[in-house]
Structure 1
Amino acid sequence: MGTKVGRLKNYCPAERLFAAFHRETAAFLDSSLENAYGRYSVIGRYPYLRAEENLGRLRVNGREMDGTLLGFLSRYLKENREENETGLPMISGAVGYLSYDYGRSFEQISTRHVKELDMPEGLFTFYDLYVIDDLEKKELYICTGERLHSYEWYESELSELAGMPDRKIAGGTELPDECEKGGKEAGGESSVSSDFTKQEYLEAIHSMIEYIRSGDIYIANMTRQIKVKCDIAPYEVFRYLRRHNPSPFGGYLNEQNFQIISASPERFLRIRAGNVETRPIKGTRKRGKTQEEDRRLRMELEASEKDRSELLMIVDLERNDLNRVCEPGSVQVTELFAVESYATVFHLVSTVTGQLKAGKTAADLIGAAFPGGSITGAPKIRAMEIIDELEHSRRGLYTGSIGYLSMNGDCDLNIVIRTAVHQNGTYHLGAGGGITAESEPEFEYDETWQKARAVVEAITGGDKGWMDH
């Protein structure tokens, strides 16, 4: 069954359409920061196949099966391959995530920590309807396999929504033009806690530095987990976050018993017509309060030998990972030390590219490179073992990946940072940073706040009390 693709006559931003059905089991890969990496947004609706893995058990549409999630996805995508000649990033396929915990199984790295959240370790859902928003051309496209409804039915439904007044969505619900209040300011009570006290985190960093000086590793990511109890609705947090901290690789995934809210700035893996790209981030500075301070902090990051050294080590790791599945000699570093600006931070970023070997798939690439080197360390396996020893909780989804796998073999996956999972009135998020022999523990602790700040403020309305935990 081929996919039917057409352009909607009336343009309406994807986020406005999504407001009408965010309560459904639906997915929104949101490029709220429009740039070279954030041209398209993707909405998935009307699921027809759900594949998940949890604690080593694979289920497809609720039925237990042998094998792994990645193995199933690889077979299904091959058996149902469909070319995409439209120029759109995808027209059919699956949207979902792989958690960091799922990635541990690749290298058979056990964990000493209990699982807190009731959610699969890996989940991808195939949707019958995809709505693609070309943010550059201001055009909306409908892509459907017509499994559940006809193209005309979807077109009629979306045209009606697109033509509604700006401050209305389906059912007459008010949709304010702006979302200016988060958390407590929007009427919710909140409390914030961390799995580390400040002193405990500083001691863990000292321990990690000792491992580095002993030669076990060169660099590793050190994470703290944060919980925010708040009765604000997760969709309101998402709206606030996307407005105040736009990102090219954000999203909102609504499941029956949990929601994922992401404002990730980092691309993990992309395949486009066999061309592979990864863009690791290492190095962060907060934004300044004045233009002069902002400029000084940007220049400080750009000139930082410590941050450049961190990023260079991760670039070498990513090159090695890509070389496992790319054509010999094709892996190149096309951008080494670029500074990117976001609402609350600057980041130091590199780009590594390659050409996928003939016969290799997105699943092979994920198997070679997941979890991303920028949020594990080098060497990767030993870094992940030390991470589990020194961190106080499972990472869960944090530092995993969210994105899509296309029926034509393409994919685009982020690194799960600046992301919260909501379940039973509590938001779960992580924040961490790369530790090297030159790391200053106090600076590293403060950096976790800068990285978590946008998400925590979206939930709490600006409460900074957790910094003292």
Structure 2
Amino acid sequence: MANYKEWTRYYPAVDIYSCYSEEEDTVFLDSSLENRYGNYSIIGIHPYLKVEDRNGELFVNGVVQEGSFADYISKYLKVHGEENPTTLPLLSGAIGYLAYDFGLRPNEVSSRHLKDVDIPEGLFIFYEHFIIEDQRNRKIYLTAAHPLYNGEDSLGALEKDLEERLYHRAANLSPAKLKKSGDFKLYSDFEKEQYYEAINKVINYIVEGDIYIANMTRQIIMESPVQPYEVFLRLHKNNPAPFSGYLNFGDFKIVCSSPERFLKLGDGIAETRPIKGTRKRGETPEEDDALRTELLHSSKDRSELLMIVDLERNDLNKVCEPGSVEVTQLFDVEAYATVFHLVSTIVGKLKEGMTSMDLLMAMFPGGSITGAPKRRAMEIIDEVEHSRRGLYTGSIGYLSFDNSCDFNIVIRTAVYKDGMYHLGVGGGITCESELEFEFEETEQKAKALLEAMKSLK
């Protein structure tokens, strides 16, 4: 079993990760919003195994291998399986992502679009060390993976390294120098009228009976002098979310402030929490309450979420024990810094012998960001959208050797590569959709990210 210990000192995880943020293949899963879902934050450092899917080919530590990405990871998890006797989310395992594009092949959907950003479709890294923050109890835990070194020695070396880095960081803190506001350029792959036309095409498909609902998105590219880790720090402060993260993969970085859980597995129980329905936050408490109430009672948003709940129940039933799948929460309004969301929760008991990777493959991509039926919705998405989604509406999270996992839906997220930020925004389309409202919803969803990318005056 992996070794672990509670550290005698406490620093917020964001301060600890700032000591490692410039190092390639370090990652930070940040639960910065203190609610029932935001508690543990996880830092992964000292990678020892990097598994990638590049255009359908499997790469292990940079070397091409026979077999599939999903099969390799599923077998690796089984071979190295171990118990986690603690309340910590994991002691050893991997952190990474699946891009939306990864889900095209298993769903037998081809894309007419070229890649805008050349990154792997799937990427998971197994780490020697995790640094875990328990925010509620203000505690830090250190873990060391069992297969590598003597655990006690490894934890001791980590503790010494941490103390040195934090000391030097405190001694060398200086304010960042930023260019003035306005030093950025913005590009969208849809003009407003084009987006209206695409929504009308989706509505026609719904009327004709091809689908019940589809998620329609547009891509935004932002050129900004603000560096990605600074963008992340601004989001961490001004737009906290329970499924945020910063992932430094060298030639590209991921900045994430997602409010949506895609999938969690713990003690054999799988949980998914689709979001459908958004309202902006009000300028006053009274306006805030009115907008919350409007969302809660919106027939369009409730029917939209209900259709996705049905889809997610069907997906869970593929890998869960018969009769175990149930909806535990149907319509709940959750508040975030700039928006309200309507959310449901569905749970089920995973079948014996299934791994967390098997569950992920059965559910991916999430129904809340495709539509129903899933495959036909994905075909229509590729037809009407102007770009590949790439990472957007994929999933970021961890896979633990005790067969647990936790993954988000990649929304409110930007990929930074070659000096450009790439992000997507979208929403669910039904036959009740109003064109202007749907476009305005994408503007509200982009607001926090774009503000964080704009430099200070």
TM class by shorter chain equals over 0.9
| Aligned amino acid, residue 416 of structure 1 | V
Which position in structure 2 is the counterpart of 1:276?
270
C-alpha distance after superposition, 1:100-130 (max 9, x if no partner): 0001111121000001212111000001010
C-alpha distance after superposition, 1:62-121 (max 9, x if no partner): 111112211111000101111100110001000000000001111121000001212111
Which position in structure 2 is the counterpart of 1:157?
161
**Distance of 2:353 and 2:337 partners within structure 1:** 41
Q: Please, which of 231, 247, 258 is the counterpart of residue 237 of structure 1? A: 231
**Distance of 2:239 and 2:418 partners within structure 1:** 25
**Distance of 1:211 and 1:462 partners within structure 2:** 44
Q: Given that residues 184 and 190 in structure 1 are in contact (C-alpha distance below 8 angstroms), is that contact kept between their aligned partners in structure 2?
A: no
| Aligned amino acid, residue 72 of structure 1 | Y
Which position in structure 1 is the counterpart of 2:50?
50
Which position in structure 2 is the counterpart of 1:145?
145
**Distance of 2:132 and 2:390 partners within structure 1:** 29
| Aligned amino acid, residue 23 of structure 1 | E
Mapped pair 1:116 → 2:120: no
**Distance of 1:461 and 1:291 partners within structure 2:** 29
| Aligned amino acid, residue 108 of structure 1 | E
CA drift at 1:322: 0.3
Correspondence list, 1:253-264, <5 A: 253-264=247-258
Q: The residue matched to 2:226 in structure 1 has which SS?
A: coil
Mapped pair 1:23 → 2:17: no
CA drift at 1:408: 0.7
C-alpha distance after superposition, 1:267-305 (max 9, x if no partner): 000000101100000000000111111111111001100
Mapped pair 1:174 → 2:170: no
| Aligned amino acid, residue 11 of structure 2 | C
| Aligned amino acid, residue 242 of structure 2 | P
| Aligned amino acid, residue 150 of structure 1 | S
C-alpha distance after superposition, 1:337-374 (max 9, x if no partner): 00000000000000000100111111211121100000
Q: The residue matched to 1:395 in structure 2 has which SS?
A: coil
Q: The residue matched to 1:107 in structure 2 has which SS?
A: coil
Identity across matched positions, percent: 57
Which position in structure 1 is the counterpart of 2:378?
384
C-alpha distance after superposition, 1:246-274 (max 9, x if no partner): 00000000011000000000000000010
| Aligned amino acid, residue 12 of structure 1 | Y
Q: Please, which of 193, 199, 204 is the counterpart of residue 205 of structure 1? A: 199
Q: Given that residues 225 and 455 in structure 2 are in contact (C-alpha distance below 8 angstroms), is that contact kept between their aligned partners in structure 1?
A: no
Which position in structure 2 is the counterpart of 1:423?
417
CA drift at 1:160: 4.0
Which position in structure 1 is the counterpart of 2:284?
290
Return the TM-score normalized by structure 1.
0.94
Which position in structure 2 is the counterpart of 1:35?
35
Which position in structure 2 is the counterpart of 1:302?
296
Q: The residue matched to 1:87 in structure 2 has which SS?
A: coil
Q: The residue matched to 2:402 in structure 1 has which SS?
A: coil
Q: Given that residues 333 and 352 in structure 1 are in contact (C-alpha distance below 8 angstroms), is that contact kept between their aligned partners in structure 2?
A: yes
Q: Given that residues 224 and 455 in structure 2 are in contact (C-alpha distance below 8 angstroms), is that contact kept between their aligned partners in structure 1?
A: no
Which position in structure 1 is the counterpart of 2:359?
365
Q: Given that residues 9 and 159 in structure 1 are in contact (C-alpha distance below 8 angstroms), is that contact kept between their aligned partners in structure 2?
A: no
Query: Could you list the runs of 5+ residues in structure 1 that have no partner in the other structure?
Result: 464-469
**Distance of 2:427 and 2:395 partners within structure 1:** 17
CA drift at 1:159: 3.5
Q: Given that residues 27 and 254 in structure 1 are in contact (C-alpha distance below 8 angstroms), is that contact kept between their aligned partners in structure 2?
A: yes
Correspondence list, 1:340-359, <5 A: 340-359=334-353
**Distance of 2:111 and 2:174 partners within structure 1:** 44
Q: The residue matched to 1:130 in structure 2 has which SS?
A: strand
CA drift at 1:184: 5.7
**Distance of 2:456 and 2:436 partners within structure 1:** 22
Q: Given that residues 182 and 455 in structure 2 are in contact (C-alpha distance below 8 angstroms), is that contact kept between their aligned partners in structure 1?
A: no
Aligned length: 452
**Distance of 1:308 and 1:135 partners within structure 2:** 33
Q: The residue matched to 2:313 in structure 1 has which SS?
A: helix
Which position in structure 2 is the counterpart of 1:331?
325
Mapped pair 1:101 → 2:94: no
Which position in structure 1 is the counterpart of 2:442?
448
**Distance of 1:399 and 1:18 partners within structure 2:** 25
| Aligned amino acid, residue 235 of structure 1 | Y
Q: Given that residues 91 and 145 in structure 2 are in contact (C-alpha distance below 8 angstroms), is that contact kept between their aligned partners in structure 1?
A: no
Q: The residue matched to 1:90 in structure 2 has which SS?
A: coil
| Aligned amino acid, residue 17 of structure 1 | I
**Distance of 1:154 and 1:446 partners within structure 2:** 48
Which position in structure 2 is the counterpart of 1:77?
77
Mapped pair 1:13 → 2:12: yes
**Distance of 2:56 and 2:362 partners within structure 1:** 19
Q: The residue matched to 2:125 in structure 1 has which SS?
A: strand
Which position in structure 2 is the counterpart of 1:466?
none
Q: The residue matched to 2:104 in structure 1 has which SS?
A: helix
Q: Given that residues 49 and 127 in structure 1 are in contact (C-alpha distance below 8 angstroms), is that contact kept between their aligned partners in structure 2?
A: yes
Q: Please, which of 430, 452, 456 is the counterpart of residue 458 of structure 1? A: 452
CA drift at 1:188: 7.3
Q: Given that residues 456 and 462 in structure 1 are in contact (C-alpha distance below 8 angstroms), is that contact kept between their aligned partners in structure 2?
A: no
Q: Given that residues 10 and 159 in structure 1 are in contact (C-alpha distance below 8 angstroms), is that contact kept between their aligned partners in structure 2?
A: no
Q: Given that residues 184 and 460 in structure 1 are in contact (C-alpha distance below 8 angstroms), is that contact kept between their aligned partners in structure 2?
A: no
| Aligned amino acid, residue 419 of structure 1 | T
**Distance of 1:280 and 1:272 partners within structure 2:** 18
Query: Could you list the runs of 5+ residues in structure 2 that have no partner in the other structure?
Result: none
**Distance of 1:161 and 1:422 partners within structure 2:** 26
C-alpha distance after superposition, 1:381-412 (max 9, x if no partner): 00000000000000000000000000110000
Q: Given that residues 254 and 414 in structure 2 are in contact (C-alpha distance below 8 angstroms), is that contact kept between their aligned partners in structure 1?
A: yes
| Aligned amino acid, residue 109 of structure 2 | I
**Distance of 1:140 and 1:160 partners within structure 2:** 16
Q: The residue matched to 2:379 in structure 1 has which SS?
A: helix
**Distance of 2:162 and 2:138 partners within structure 1:** 15
CA drift at 1:173: 3.2
CA drift at 1:195: 0.2
Q: Which moved more, 1:62-71 or 1:410-419?
A: 62-71
